Amino acid sequence: MKIKQTNPPWNKKVYKRNYEPFYHTQRWRDIRKGFLLGTTTLPDGRIVSNSMCIECFKNGKSVASNTVDHIQRIKDGGDPYDMANFQALCRTCHDKKSSKEGQEAKMKMKFKNL
C-alpha cells in the first residue's frame, strides 16, 4: 500500500519570481551603485541622498534605502537604465508600491476584458 504524502497547511508553496534578465548584468549593477551614491532633488528644492528612502524622508523618517525602484514600471514601458526613472526606497516602501501597482494592473486587465 502506497501512502500519499500531504502538505500541512503551514507549509505554503513558495513561488519563484521571474526577474528581468537585465538585473543580473554588470551594466545594471554599475548604474544602480552610481545612483545610490548620488542625490535626488525634491520638488520643494530639498536635496536628499539616494542612500535614504525617499518616501520615508517625505514622511519625516530617516530610513536607509536598499532598493532602486523604477518609477514607471518596465512592464509599462519605463526605461530600465534611465536614472530619471529611478527612486531610492526601503524594502517596506518598495513592497507597498509594487503591490499597489500590481493591483492597479490587475484591475485594468479586468475592465479591459469586459
Average pLDDT over residues 4-8: 69
**86 burial type by CB count under 10 A (0-12 exposed, 13-18 middle, 19+ buried):** buried
* Per-residue confidence (pLDDT) for residue 2, from 0 to 100: 73
Q: What is the pLDDT of residues 26-76, one digit of tens each?
A: 999 999 999 999 999 988 999 999 999 999 999 999 999 999 999 998 888
Q: Residue 22 — very low, low, confident or very high, per pLDDT cuts 50/70/90?
A: confident
pLDDT of residue 59: 93
Give the pTM: 0.75
- Would you give the end-to-end CA distance of the chain in angstroms? 50
